[in-house]
Amino acid sequence: MSNTSSNTTGDESLITTDVETGSNGRTASSERTAVAARDLNVFYGDEQAIDDVSIEIPEKRVTALIGPSGCGKSTFLRCINRMNDMIEVCRVEGDVEFGGKNVYDPDVDPVALRRKIGMVFQKPNPFPKSIRDNVAYGLKIQGFDGDVDERVEESLKGAALWDEVKDQLDSSGLDLSGGQQQRLCIARAIAPDPEVILMDEPTSALDPVAASKIEDLIDDLAEEYTVIIVTHNMQQAARISDRTAVFLTGGRLVEYDDTAKIFEDPEEQRVEDYITGKFG
């Protein structure tokens, strides 16, 4: 962890939310680590986007990544499932460990890695296929041999979408509303039963009602999956996450701790300023 400052502040809660922080009551210490980064540096050409980040993300918890725009949250997320490989100018130094293995080792097949890590994007991006085919996509490409329909149903239930679409599984995924599309993408991500789910601002394109549905969903997902979520919404981070990592400009991880601690009593003045909206 890289929170090294000694700058303490008062203990009043910095933001007010209706929900108490860490509402799910999962204890946020002494678990196994799902994903860890060690001395991670990422460059786009000459520009550095992640600066010497080390972090350990616990299993079956919701970890929120927050920070101002351009501070490297998405970049960090993409390092975990090696989606950065697609960006030609991107160069990664250091380790990202998943399941005890450095994913940047030469013998790691990024495609196989991604089959263990689901991802949900900022803008819902269902395929122009039927709802059923969307959810079954991962199963299809992985050569799943079991009962596809059963798995589709389970996943849609897991994404709290089943009741709304169970009669129209053959209609196009694009005919759904934005919020439903995003839940469809979540169903698609969980269908192959990954270990980790990465979410990059999954609710920023949605209205508050749809967003709160997804928030509830994320809470349930953490029963089974490790969820790592990037968000710009402080209340959201406070409501749904167990741990929060604060990145600041330049791609530095300035503080990483239990969510309650970050929002009530951060170590760093800069973090407090960011959370209370004084900058960023």
Partner 1 sequence: MATDDSNAAGFGEVSRVRGIAFEYLSLGASVAGLVALGVLLVYVAIDAFDLANASPEWLLTYFLTLVVPFLLFCLYSAGDPAVTRRVAGVLGGGLVVVAAAFAAIEAFVVTIPRLSWQLAYLFVVVAPTTAYLAYVGSRGRVGAVGFGLLGRLVGGVAIGLAVGTLFLVFDELVWFLAYTLGVLPAAALYAYGSRRAANRAVTAAIPVGLVGLVAAVFLRGVVGTYPSDLIIYLWTLAVPIAAVGAFLVDARGSRVGAAVVGGVPLALATAGGFLAGSVGLPGPTTLIVIALTGVPTAVYVHRVIDGGDGVVGLGLPLLIGGGVLVGALVVEAWGVPAPDPWLDPGYVTEAPSRTAAEAGLYPAIVGSVIIIALVAVLSFVLGVGTSVFLEEYTAGSGVVGSLTRLLQINIANLAAIPSVVYGLLGLGLFANLLGFGYGTAVTASLTLSLLILPITIISAQEAIRSVPDDLRRGSDAMGATRWQTTKNVVLPEAFPGILTGTILALGRAIGETAPLIMIGAATTVFSAPTSLFSRFSAMPMQIYAWAGFPQADFRYGVVAAGVITLLIILVGMNGTAILLRNRAERGN
* Binding footprint of ligand ATP on the chain (CB under 6 A): 44, 49, 67, 69-75, 87, 89
* Contact set for partner 1, span 173-212 (CB under 8 A): 174, 185, 188-189, 192
Residue 263 to residue 64: CA distance in whole angstroms: 12
CB of 49 or CB of 253, closer to partner 1: 49
What is the closest distance, in whole angstroms, from the C-beta atom of residue 114 to partner 1 in the complex? 4
Q: Name the binder of 72 from Mg ion, partner 1, ligand ATP, none, CB < 5-8 A by kind.
A: ligand ATP
Q: Name the binder of 128 from partner 1, Mg ion, ligand ATP, none, CB < 5-8 A by kind.
A: partner 1
How far lies 155's CA from each of 113, 194, 222, 273, in Å?
21, 12, 14, 40
Q: In a 3-state reduction of DSSP, which class is residue 41?
A: strand
| Contacts with Mg ion, residue ranges (CB under 5 A) | 74
Q: In a 3-state reduction of DSSP, which class is residue 121?
A: coil
What is the closest distance, in whole angstroms, from the C-beta atom of residue 155 to partner 1 in the complex? 13
Residue 202 to residue 214: CA distance in whole angstroms: 8
Q: Name 90's bridge partners.
A: 44
Q: Which of 45, 100, 128, 208 binds partner 1 (CB under 8 A)?
A: 128
What is the closest distance, in whole angstroms, from the C-beta atom of residue 138 to Mg ion in the complex? 23
* Contact set for partner 1, span 62-101 (CB under 8 A): 81, 83, 86, 88
Q: Which of 60, 61, 114, 243 binds partner 1 (CB under 8 A)?
A: 114
- Show contacts of 112-117: CB within 8 Å, 24+ apart: 113/81, 113/82, 114/81, 114/82, 114/83, 115/142, 115/192, 115/194, 116/194, 116/195, 116/196, 117/80, 117/81, 117/194, 117/195, 117/196, 117/197, 117/198
Residue 184 to residue 201: CA distance in whole angstroms: 15
How far, rounded to the nearest angstrom, does the alpha carbon of residue 227 sit from its chain's CA centroid? 5
What is the closest distance, in whole angstroms, from the C-beta atom of residue 232 to ligand ATP in the complex? 6
Q: Which of 20, 39, 93, 147 binds partner 1 (CB under 8 A)?
A: 147
* Interacting span for partner 1 (CB under 8 A) from 30-38, 116-124, 209-217, 249-257: 116-124
Q: Name the binder of 148 from ligand ATP, Mg ion, partner 1, none, CB < 5-8 A by kind.
A: partner 1
Residue 73 DSSP code: H
Residue 119 to residue 78: CA distance in whole angstroms: 9
What is the closest distance, in whole angstroms, from the C-beta atom of residue 86 to ligand ATP in the complex? 9
Q: Name the binder of 162 from Mg ion, partner 1, ligand ATP, none, CB < 5-8 A by kind.
A: none
Q: At what angle do helices 148-158 and 131-141 cross, to 10 degrees?
A: 110
Q: Which residue is nearest to Mg ion (CB)?
A: 74
